[in-house]
């Protein structure tokens, strides 16, 4: 990210773990044995994406030549291991003859040249607009991104870029990436220039002044026509360009990183980080999990790095990752392909945003944390096991009618925010000593205890359906959870009739969207949008004593239809 560069130079390193996916044999919600769904191979897709800026105004030592030589080295090591990938050009680098000459030498059958959508001074002035930046490239949201310009100005900026690109390479780019692109620009690029893939930043809160929070957690989604961060629910209301989530976010530690502050740190696969993409032990562990664990839908990660970090900072990570990726490719365990290829595959396979999942079945040495993320076009949910206890850490709902102000309005701040609709937020609603979430409890001999269990087992009972079976230790039996694109179902399977429930707690001063809690639903309002969290089976109550709400089962079952969030 733009200001992450100062974190690396300053020596601040964050330990990382990147998500893996796991599926295994099916355990039914009853005690009747069922045959597992026939194991279907799921793709492991790796995009090596390097994006290119001409200059770096934050550090005088990072000259244009240093940035250029970084790209030379990236291309050399990728060609050495016969690894293709995607290079994305910011406009100022696009018009530089050195980059043109270099990138034209890359084989077209394995390399892709696309657009990096940050807006520098030459592009603005070529479009006949006035530059407002402090430097020829300024990373502020209201200057260096399309959000800082009116829709008419965005059209001019896009036309300038596309005309220049075609004049140089003879075709229009098929992939356009950025930390964030507004939906108006994306739709225009699709309709006029027929782009097939895009990418945006991983979920983060406040990093570099950019907040993308509560969205489709990884892999890719089709965005709403009025909100590029919000997955659409219906084909007619989506922009038919899949947006891939960048950077290989850690499914356990990225979410909580910087909890209690206004800025998250960075926990990713990026090769500049010593305890992540730049550490051989970590990278070997990640790639082993990435290839050997099973997942719902498909597994995806993005390797590569922006040239602003320089080759000296990223060389170790690249030299660790590239030979391993080549080995796994040769063993047919991963597909290393361009973003364009991934976008075409996604569009051919999925007409709407699919249901997918990522799980961590074994954490790094010394930790027993486990997690699973489930995403669909209607919601995302995250389950976290800590010391054998379950906490539902995150639940956000998706609504294609929830507009983004940036679709038609101009950003007036140097920061930028994209959100979805929160029901559970274990980060924003937490403090270091008050961790928010929905925790599973049971009454034993009249005493309330947190339910404790063994390792959860993940399985796929049918396409688009994730089943989680959690063998219990506190009580006899297992806790069974089913997630498909619309519904969430939870049941305690046991010969004994236990009293069990979930309690929701947050930090005392958390700003919450809840307006009214009744027996069957919670009425919510967030960023001007009204929505409802309604149970089909299960009941809400307000027991007090710091508990925001209690969720009890109905006939031993809790069931939600998370596609029905509108008020009646």
Q: pLDDT per residue over 69-98, tens digit each? A: 999 999 999 999 999 999 999 999 999 999
Domain spans in the chain, listed from the N-terminal domain onward: 4-23+44-350, 357-561
Provide, rounded to the nearest whole percent, the portion of the chain with pLDDT above 90. Answer: 75
Task: Give the helix/strand (H/E) hosting 184.
Answer: helix 183-193
Q: Strands 389-397 and 421-425: what pairing?
A: antiparallel
Who wins on pLDDT, 248 or 37? 248
Task: Give the helix/strand (H/E) hosting 6.
Answer: helix 4-9
CB of 231 closer than 8 Å to CB of 223:
yes
357-561 and 4-23+44-350 share a CATH fold: no
Helix, strand, or coil (residue 239): coil
Task: Write down the pLDDT at residue 249.
Answer: 85
Give the distance from CA 268 to its chain's centroid. 11
> Which CATH superfamily, name and number, covers 4-23+44-350?
Uncharacterised protein PF12979, DUF3863 (3.20.20.510)
Region 52-74: what's the mean pLDDT?
96
pLDDT band, very low/low/confident/very high, at 135 (cuts 50, 70, 90):
very high
Cα separation, 272 vs 311, whole angstroms:
9
Cα separation, 467 vs 24, whole angstroms:
10
Beta bridge partners of 211: 417
The CA angle 209-213-219, to the nearest 5 degrees, is 115
pLDDT band, very low/low/confident/very high, at 563 (cuts 50, 70, 90):
very high
Residue 158 reports pLDDT greater than 80: yes
Domain 357-561 has CATH 2.70.98: yes
Region 185-200: what's the mean pLDDT?
98
Task: Write down the pLDDT at residue 185.
Answer: 97
Residues 6+ apart with CB under 8 A from 172: 162, 165, 166, 193, 194, 195
Task: Write down the pLDDT at residue 568.
Answer: 58
Task: Write down the pLDDT at residue 29.
Answer: 32
The CA angle 403-409-414, to the nearest 5 degrees, is 105
Q: What is the pLDDT of residues 297-348, one digit of tens each?
A: 998 999 999 999 999 999 999 999 999 999 999 999 999 999 999 999 999 9
Task: Write down the pLDDT at residue 446.
Answer: 87
Task: Write down the pLDDT at residue 10.
Answer: 41
- Tokens (6 digits) for 201: 């930043």
DSSP state of 544: B
Residue 171 exposure: Cα atoms within 13 Å on the Cβ side: 10
Task: Give the helix/strand (H/E) hosting 290.
Answer: helix 280-292
Cα separation, 553 vs 538, whole angstroms:
4
Cα separation, 175 vs 204, whole angstroms:
23
Q: Strands 529-537 and 521-526: what pairing?
A: antiparallel
Cα separation, 249 vs 245, whole angstroms:
9
Instruction: Report the mean per-residue pLDDT for the chain.
Output: 90
CB of 291 closer than 8 Å to CB of 44:
yes
Whole-model pTM: value is 0.91
């Amino acid at each position: 990210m733009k200001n992450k560069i100062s974190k690396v130079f300053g020596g601040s390193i964050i330990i990382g773990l990147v998500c893996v996916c796991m599926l295994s044999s099916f355990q039914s919600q009853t005690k009747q044995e069922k045959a597992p769904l026939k194991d279907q191979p799921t793709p492991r897709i790796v995009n090596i994406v390097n994006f290119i800026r001409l200059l770096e105004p934050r550090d005088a030592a990072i000259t244009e030549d240093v940035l250029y030589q970084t790209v030379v080295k990236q291309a050399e090591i990728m060609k050495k291991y016969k690894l293709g990938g995607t290079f994305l050009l910011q406009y100022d680098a696009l018009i530089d003859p050195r980059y043109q000459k270099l990138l034209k030498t890359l084989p077209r059958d394995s390399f892709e040249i696309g657009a990096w959508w940050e807006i520098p001074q030459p592009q603005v002035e070529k479009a006949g607009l006035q530059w407002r930046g402090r430097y020829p490239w300024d990373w502020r949201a209201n200057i260096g991104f399309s959000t800082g310009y009116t829709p008419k100005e965005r059209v001019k900026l896009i036309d300038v870029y596309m005309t220049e690109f075609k004049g140089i390479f003879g075709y229009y780019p098929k992939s356009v990436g950025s930390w964030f692109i507004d939906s108006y620009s994306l739709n225009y690029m699709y309709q006029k220039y027929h782009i097939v893939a895009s990418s945006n930043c991983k979920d983060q809160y406040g990093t570099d002044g950019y907040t993308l929070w509560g969205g489709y957690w990884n892999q890719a989604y089709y965005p709403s026509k009025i909100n590029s961060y919000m997955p659409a629910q219906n084909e007619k209301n989506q922009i038919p360009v899949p947006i891939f989530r960048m950077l290989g976010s850690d499914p356990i530690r990225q979410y909580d990183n910087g909890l209690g502050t206004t800025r998250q740190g960075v926990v990713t696969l990026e090769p500049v980080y010593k305890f992540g993409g730049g550490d051989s032990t970590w990278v070997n562990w990640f790639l082993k999990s990435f290839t050997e664990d099973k997942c719902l839908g498909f597994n995806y990660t993005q390797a590569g790095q922006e040239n602003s970090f320089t080759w000296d900072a990223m060389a170790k990570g690249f030299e660790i990752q590239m030979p391993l990726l080549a080995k796994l490719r040769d063993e047919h365990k991963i597909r290393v392909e361009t973003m364009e290829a991934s976008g075409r595959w996604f569009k051919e396979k999925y007409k709407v945003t699919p249901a997918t999942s990522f799980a961590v079945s074994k954490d790094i040495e010394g930790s027993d944390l486990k997690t699973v993320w489930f995403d669909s076009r209607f919601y995302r949910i995250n389950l976290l096991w800590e010391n054998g206890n379950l906490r539902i850490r995150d639940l956000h709902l998706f609504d294609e009618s929830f507009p983004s102000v940036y679709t038609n309005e101009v950003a007036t701040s140097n920061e930028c925010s994209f959100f979805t609709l929160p029901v559970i937020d274990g980060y924003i609603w937490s403090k270091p000593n008050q961790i928010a979430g929905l925790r599973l409890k049971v009454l034993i001999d009249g005493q309330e205890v947190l339910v404790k269990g063994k390792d959860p087992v993940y399985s796929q009972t049918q396409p688009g359906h994730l089943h989680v079976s959690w063998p219990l230790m506190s009580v006899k039996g297992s806790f069974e959870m089913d997630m498909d694109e619309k519904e969430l179902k939870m049941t305690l399977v046991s010969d004994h009739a236990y009293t069990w429930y979930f309690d929701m707690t947050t930090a005392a001063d958390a700003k919450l969207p809840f307006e009214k809690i009744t027996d069957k639903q919670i009425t919510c309002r967030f960023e001007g949008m009204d929505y409802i969290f309604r149970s089909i089976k299960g009941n809400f109550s307000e027991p007090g004593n710091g508990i925001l709400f209690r969720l009890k089962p109905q006939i031993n079952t809790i069931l939600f239809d998370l596609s029905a969030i509108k008020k009646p």
